[in-house]
Chain A
Amino acid sequence: MADANLVSMAEQFTGLPMQDLIGGPLNAAATANGMMAVTQTKFLLDTAFEVKDEGGLEIYKPIMITMTLKRGVIFPKDPEVPGGEPEIKEIETEIGIPLLTILPLNSLAVDDVTIKFDMEVKSSFSDVQTAKTEEKVSKAGSFSAKFAYGIFSAEVTGSVSSDSSTASSRDTRTEKSNSAQYSVSVHAGQLPLPEGVKTIITAYASAIQPIMMPKDSKTP
């Protein structure tokens, strides 16, 4: 049962700018990502491409780098002997690949945003009731009487006293506390490579695959 003396937790969370609290950092991350994407695009165009002016048109041509590829190839020891003993020779091949395909694209992005917002509302209520009653009654009385009849006289004196004390004490202490915690966690993951970039990279990658030379062709 809600206590009127304690603050309402729901009331404390009402009116909080939750949209700003959660959306603000996410927006900032998204803006940073957007800026990084623009910077990355500029970086790729500047670094991985060379601009050539062809008939008034700016043509971006990928900068190629040469890679060496070493692999073992089985050759017959003596080519003149059919079915002869084979041997493995290490053949070194040079292949040209675009610089674009070897740079880690799209890895510069905010991949994890955690917003932890803890709000603690503590409400405590203490009620101390003290009741003390003290009663003290004190009574005192005296009397004196004199009688005279002829030659006889008598005197009577007396005193009465009464003392009474009553004390009572009552101490009641009530303490109540109330707390609440609110936590929000938001995760923003990394987006995969755009399909267009994937296609370009796949095209480049497939272009570097070795092609079998026809048997009847002459060595250049």
Chain B
Amino acid sequence: MSHHLSCPVCQSQIPIDLRLLAQGGSFRCPSTACQTVIGINRNSLTTFSGALSQYERLEALGAERNNRPHPWPVK
């Protein structure tokens, strides 16, 4: 699940994978002049991974709704 986060130092968009981030992964700012690395602190991993799991459940629910065939309202 790709996402972007604004770099707190140079405001560049850091591409992040939310699942990897929830597993404790860290991501580097693409700006060569910055090279800041961001990650989630261990203390917040549980909070974030819990929220992400709930989000994924919501996403799955949305996908299920969108894929449901619609009966054609032909008169």
Partner of B40, one of A25, A68, A108: A68
Contact between chains at A71 and B37 (CB < 8 Å)? yes
A17-B40 contact given A43-B54, A69-B8, CB 8 Å threshold: no
What are the residues of chain B within 8 A of A94 when measuring CB–CB? 41
Contact between chains at A36 and B55 (CB < 8 Å)? no
A66 at the interface (CB under 8 A from B): yes
B58 at the interface (CB under 8 A from A): yes
Contact between chains at A36 and B62 (CB < 8 Å)? yes
Contact between chains at A65 and B48 (CB < 8 Å)? yes
Q: How far is the CB of A187 from chain B (nearest CB, A)?
A: 15
Main secondary structure of the interface of B (DSSP, over half): mixed
Question: How many inter-chain residue pairs (CB < 8 Å) link A and B?
Answer: 99
Contact between chains at B54 and A39 (CB < 8 Å)? no
Instruction: Please encode chain A, from 17 to 42, with 1 for each CB lying within 8 Å of some chain B CB and 0 for all others.
Output: 10011001100110010011001100
User: How many residues on B have C-beta within 8 angstroms of the other chain's C-beta atoms?
Assistant: 37
What are the residues of chain A within 8 A of B72 when measuring CB–CB? 21, 24
Partner of B18, one of A28, A40, A104: A104
Binding site for A on B (CB under 8 A): 1, 3, 5-6, 8-9, 18, 21, 26, 34-41, 43-44, 47-48, 50-52, 54-55, 58-59, 61-62, 65-66, 70, 72-75
